[in-house]
Amino acid sequence: DVKVTQSSRYLVKRTGEKVFLECVQDMDHENMFWYRQDPGLGLRLIYFSYDVKMKEKGDIPEGYSVSREKKERFSLILESASTNQTSMYLCASIGGTVYGRGYTFGSGTRLTVV
């Protein structure tokens, strides 16, 4: 089975810090995604990448950037963390011959900015 691994399950950071959320998948998937999940708002797309060094903005990219230097790794960067970025962050990937099946998700990083 495809595995998508997010490096931290829980993270607490201070306002103004630069924060890196890491995501690694082990099945050579071309497409990777970062979503933010908030109660009552569902999942909202922040950024996605369809290839190494390629990225596109999702619906809520403000305050975030991403990096994809290697195919298996997709990093979400909070340039200067703010309290309104306290949330659950989910990484996902899709590729190969299973596009119709939907994503494989990581188990999420719950980020608290204090």
Partner 1 sequence: AQTVTQSQPEMSVQEAETVTLSCTYDTSESDYYLFWYKQPPSRQMILVIRQEAYKQQNATENRFSVNFQKAAKSFSLKISDSQLGDAAMYFCAYRSAGGSNYKLTFGKGTLLTVNP
- The footprint of partner 1 (CB under 8 A) covers 31, 33, 35, 40-45, 48, 50, 56, 58, 88, 90, 92, 94, 99-103, 105, 107-108
Q: Tell which residue, 74, 109, 107, 80, has the closest CA to residue 16.
A: 80
Q: How far apart are CA 65 and CA 19, in angstroms?
A: 10
**φ and ψ at residue 62, rounded to 5 degrees:** -60, 130
Helix (H, G, I), strand (E, B) or coil at 83: helix
User: Which CB atom, from 35 or from 64, has the smaller least distance to partner 1?
Assistant: 35
User: Which CB atom, from 85 or from 109, has the smaller least distance to partner 1?
Assistant: 109
Shortest distance in whole angstroms from residue 59 CB to partner 1: 9
User: Which CB atom, from 14 or from 40, has the smaller least distance to partner 1?
Assistant: 40
